Structure 1
């Protein structure tokens, strides 16, 4: 992929497919984006492929299509990015905007992680393993994000909402991601 393919326009990553989510808002004035939050999602849980995640992030998920989807009815959430099992990357929210991915959260005594973070969903299930293509794409995306923002750390949802959220979970290989980002200024926070 050429450098041009990884360029940015108003917070949109040229190397990603774009699908606009309505679930975002402005970042607080003067807040620096310096954190990446890694999540895991599959809809229904443990089922991969399909467009249910895209429909969730765009408020189009049919609550009657699967019994689990009924529990998500009316939920308005988003992430900046989704990396599917085959490594394909989709962007839902400009990185200049505040996506609604972290919920009640805190990192290093700073609450409201949505204000200063970029959310990346990996298609997967907490406790399950992730695919090599996902790690490769995740590392590339984090490196490219760090050229646009002063990203200092990449953490899991489990780190910023302990006890409330378990993802990406024990199946996520933090050492592998760290090895892929050896030359990066981004600190990888391993599972505790």
Structure 2
């Protein structure tokens, strides 16, 4: 008789696989993405340049809770799938970091100049020509190597994530059925928010 690990079974029973999967991308999530791009991302970049660190994962929860409150007052409904799409996209967009904005700040900072690193950065990091910074725009030929490197990293990063990350996840989750102890934490947080939204919608209805 096979030995049953009670702790392992407890983790496996925290979350159950849903019977129906819904499409979470809609007009509401589109406005959510626009809000993230126009409000949360500039705030994250400002915090990163000012304090040396970004908003972090709190921006994801702030975005989801904010749109939940808007949906309550507009008598609109946000499904679990829509909340998850907002949560995932906010983490993806804000998690990109300062990018070129941080790079151009670094290469011209007092610390870099004091260390004698002015002009020592390769062109695929930042332009060495001071004229590239006079127009205050990245849409110029001097920034093409740095922009090209960013697209290169994004493409192969996504490819690596889909092939190795998602592929190994399906292997360990669906085939080997290994537990992910910390995965239910975020998922149950999303479910708690969506259940609260659905309950209040039923009460008001």
TM-score of the two chains, using structure 2 as the length reference: 0.21
- Greater share of helix: 2
Higher-Rg structure is 2
